[in-house]
Chains A and B, each alone.
Chain A
Amino acid sequence: MLHTVNKSPFEKNSLVSCLEHAADGSAILLIEDGVYGALNGSAVADKVKSVMGKSTIYALGPDLDARGIADKIMDGIKVVDYAGFVDLACENDKVQAWL
């Protein structure tokens, strides 16, 4: 399943909820303010890292660029564009938005 998270982890706990509920083998895509969850060294960074071996974490490149944080994200997070977002939606059988 593809999970999308669109809110900053410093505004809402939807990222943490998603990380705690996503089954192993999930794809988790950070979009909009959700890309702040990809930041290196943040309060939620360890939580995000702990899921990396089990699920794959993606971040939407244009949204990282819009916030000027493309070079400040954790190793292991895969950056995709909108076409990559569409591919993820196709590769996974369901899309769950954590609003």
Chain B
Amino acid sequence: MKFTIQVNEGPYQHQSSDTAYQFAKAALEKGHEIFRVFFYHDGVNNATRLTTPPQDDRNVVNRWSELAKEHNLDLVVCVAAAQRRGIADKDEAQRNGKDADNLADGFRISGLGQLIEGGIQSDRLVVFGD
């Protein structure tokens, strides 16, 4: 079965980013396909590579990047939500005249159309967040 997962909550906030990750992992282990993971609202904070949790804590951002690398996942960050919260890749940083970018490996910035497409192309859209 094909899933799209929507994450509306940042890492280390409540628990939804963790739940979304565990759900994605369990689905992949069962042989299902993840068509896309879409990060929206505060969920875009899952995509900053500057995240530095204590060494004995899970690294939520790296965990997404690693899962994406392992399973060739499409991790999409909403551009408008990202701009508001200071999440930018090289192109976005340049376009907006910023002196730095911070998008983590495996993520890409795009628009809401990607969420709609995920809903259409997938058998299930599962939402996690506040």
- The chain A residues found within 8 Å of chain B, CB to CB, are 4, 6, 31-33, 62-63, 81-83, 85-87, 89-90, 94-95, 97, 99
Task: Enumerate the 6 nearest inter-chain pairs by beta-carbon distance, A residue then B residue, closest first.
Answer: A82-B26, A97-B127, A32-B15, A86-B27, A82-B22, A86-B26
Q: Dominant SS at the B interface?
A: mixed
Q: Which residues of B are found within 8 Å of A4, using beta-carbon distances? A: 126
Q: When the two chains form their complex, are residues B125 and A83 in contact, meaning their CB atoms are under 8 A apart?
A: no
Chain B 2-14 near chain A by CB (<8 Å), digits 1 or 0: 0100001000001
Judge whether B8 and A95 touch: CB under 8 Å: no
Known: A83-B29, A83-B30. A90 touches B23 (CB 8 A): no
Interface of A is mostly: helix
Q: Is B90 an interface position by the 8 A CB rule?
A: no
Interface size on B, residues (CB 8 A): 23
A83 CA / B26 CA spacing, docked (Å) = 5
Complex partner residue of A31 from B8, B19, B125, B130, CB under 8 angstroms = B19
B129 beta carbon closer than 8 Å to chain A: yes
Across the interface, which residues of B come within 8 angstroms of A89, CB to CB?
Answer: 3, 23, 27, 124, 126
CB under 8 Å from chain A, chain B span 1-55 = 1, 3, 8, 14-16, 19, 22-23, 25-27, 29-30, 32
A83 to B30 CA separation, bound complex (whole angstroms) = 8
Contact indicator per residue, chain B 82-126, by CB within 8 Å of chain A (1) or not (0): 000000000000000000000000000000000000000001111
The reply to whether A85 and B23 form a contact with Cβ atoms under 8 Å apart is yes
Using Cβ atoms and an 8 Å threshold, which residues of chain B touch A95?
A: 124-127
